[in-house]
């Protein structure tokens, strides 16, 4: 899946010194994983891979270089590129020091779903295509195996890039799988029961936050001592506080990449909250983060006609 082109491009950029570093994915120590990697020498481009297991949002790996002088090439799926766009707009990184290699995203596949549907799985039993795969010779569509966060993706194609490798794709989204909608159809109390059960499993490891390209605060409110909002114990109330607070901080900024949810070691459906916030923002303020560099962030502006019926 375009791996060769990606490596060739990375090599070319490094050799020509167009960039100092390339940030991409490599295969990890466990099957069905692609982990982030930093490539600084043209000899190492062979380590780069591109497949259905690119779970992380690589834009988060840019920020440590903010105050350096390094020029960086970033492999960017649709959502990674959207995150870069928000970072650029928030002046967290200079445009001239980033080279975006856009990759239309084939969707991230959930290992758990593979196991649920196919039983015991080994890497060598698979051969992968963009939209389908062969498992022990049998052909399967990719769609039912997508991570919940990706099944509802509307922007697999990077809206911003310096060059694009691969062909633009149709979004996966066909409405058939949308875990937000499933919850919308429940009663308020049912939703509360659902979230209470999910969030009481949270161990407050902050993997969700640290995986998020837009949670880049030097000191997160959740760990602030003065003022102190929550304590360090993962009780339901403080877990809710953290996730609600975080979702509010992401309002109009979250690029719906779902990296937070895919990072959770406890497999908590934590992307639901920021994704819901984005839906609220989209439906009421007609704004989607990371699609343009010009349009003003929705919570940094207002309209006199904004909804106000909820205020007495």
Partner 1 sequence: MKNDWEPKIVAFLCHWCSYAGADLAGISRIQYPPNIRVIRVPCSGAVNPLYILKALREGADGVLVSGCHPGDCHYLSGNYFARRKFFVLHQLLQWLGIEENRVQFSWVSASEGQKFSQVVEETVEKVKKLGPAQKLVKEFTFHV
Partner 2 sequence: MSKGLVTKEKWWKWLEDKKDRLFLSERAQKRYGSWFPPEVKVVKNGKEILLPSGEEMYRYFWAGEEWKVEEGEVNTAPLFFFSLPCEARAIIEITDKVFLHEPIDKNYRQRRKSLSLGILACLQPEPTCFCSLVGGGPFWKNEEALFLVPRKEDIYVEGEGELLSYSEEGGEKVKQEIQTLQKEVESGLPSPLPSYFSQELYQHFEDEEWDDISWHCMNCGACTFLCPTCYCFDLSIEGRLKGFQLRSWDSCMFPKFTLHASFHNPRPTGKERVRQRVMHKFSYFPEREGNFACVGCGVCVEKCPVNWDIREAIERMVEKIDRLRA
Between 31 and 50, how does the x/- string for binding to partner 2 read (CB under 8 A)? --x-xxxx------------
Residues facing 109 on adjacent strands: 146
Segment interacting with partner 2 (CB under 8 A) among 94-102, 142-150, 181-189, 231-239: 231-239
Q: For the CB of residue 41, give the shortest distance to partner 2 in the complex, in Å.
A: 12
Query: Which residues of the chain form contacts with ligand SF4 (CB under 6 A)?
Result: 57, 202-209, 211-215, 217, 220-222, 246, 249-250, 254-260, 263-264, 266, 268, 270-271, 274
Binding to partner 2 by residue 265, rule CB under 8 A?
Answer: yes
Contacts of 92 (CB under 8 A, 6+ apart): 63, 66, 216
List 211, 250, 275, 281, residue binding partner 2 (CB under 8 A): 211
Q: For the CB of residue 32, give the shortest distance to partner 2 in the complex, in Å.
A: 10
Tell me the C-alpha distance between 25 and 33, whole Å.
9
Binding to partner 2 by residue 262, rule CB under 8 A?
Answer: yes
283 by Cβ neighbours in 10 Å (0-12 / 13-18 / 19+) ranks as exposed
Q: For the CB of residue 207, give the shortest distance to partner 1 in the complex, in Å.
A: 21
β-pairing verdict for 98-102 and 163-164: parallel
Binding to partner 2 by residue 199, rule CB under 8 A?
Answer: no
Pick from 171, 158, 178, 181: nearest CA to 255: 158
Tell me the C-alpha distance between 23 and 162, whole Å.
15
Residues numbered 49 to 78 that lie near partner 2 (CB under 8 A) are 55-56, 60-61, 64
Contacts of 130 (CB under 8 A, 6+ apart): 1, 106, 142, 169
Choose among partner 1, ligand SF4, partner 2, none what residue 137 binds, the Cβ cut-off being 5 to 8 Å by kind.
none
279 by Cβ neighbours in 10 Å (0-12 / 13-18 / 19+) ranks as middle
Q: For the CB of residue 196, give the shortest distance to ligand SF4 in the complex, in Å.
A: 14
262 contacts 55 by C-beta, under 8 angstroms: yes
Contacts with partner 2 by CB under 8 A lie at 28-30, 33, 35-38, 55-56, 60-61, 64, 203-207, 209-211, 219, 223, 225, 228, 231-235, 262-265
């Amino acid at each position: 899946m375009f791996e060769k082109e990606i490596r060739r491009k990375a090599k070319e950029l490094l050799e020509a010194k167009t960039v100092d570093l390339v940030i991409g994915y490599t295969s990890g120590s466990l099957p069905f994983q692609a982990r982030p990697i930093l490539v600084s020498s043209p000899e190492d481009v062979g380590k780069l891979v591109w497949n259905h297991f690119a779970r992380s949002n690589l834009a988060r790996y840019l920020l440590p270089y903010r105050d350096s002088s390094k020029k960086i090439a970033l492999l960017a799926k649709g959502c990674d590129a959207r995150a870069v766009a928000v970072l650029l707009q928030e002046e967290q990184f200079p445009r001239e020091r980033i080279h975006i290699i856009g990759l239309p995203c084939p969707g991230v596949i959930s290992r758990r779903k593979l196991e649920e549907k196919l039983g015991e799985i080994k890497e060598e039993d698979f051969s992968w295509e963009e939209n389908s795969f062969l498992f022990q010779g049998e052909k399967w569509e990719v769609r039912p195996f997508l991570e919940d966060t990706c099944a509802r993706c509307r922007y697999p194609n990077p809206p911003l890039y310096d060059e694009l490798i691969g062909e633009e794709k149709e979004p996966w989204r066909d409405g058939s799988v949308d875990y937000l909608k499933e919850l919308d159809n429940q009663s308020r109390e049912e939703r509360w029961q659902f979230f209470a059960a999910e969030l009481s499993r949270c161990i407050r490891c902050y993997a969700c936050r640290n995986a998020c390209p837009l949670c880049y605060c030097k000191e997160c409110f959740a760990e602030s001592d003065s003022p102190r909002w929550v304590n360090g114990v993962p009780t339901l109330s403080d877990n809710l506080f953290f996730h609600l607070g975080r979702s509010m901080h992401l309002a109009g900024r979250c690029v719906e990449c779902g990296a937070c949810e895919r990072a959770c070691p406890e497999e908590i459906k934590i992307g639901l909250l920021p994704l819901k916030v984005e839906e609220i923002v989209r439906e009421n303020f007609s704004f989607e983060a990371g699609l343009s560099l010009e349009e003003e962030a929705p919570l940094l502006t207002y309209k006199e006609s904004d909804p106000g019926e909820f205020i007495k």
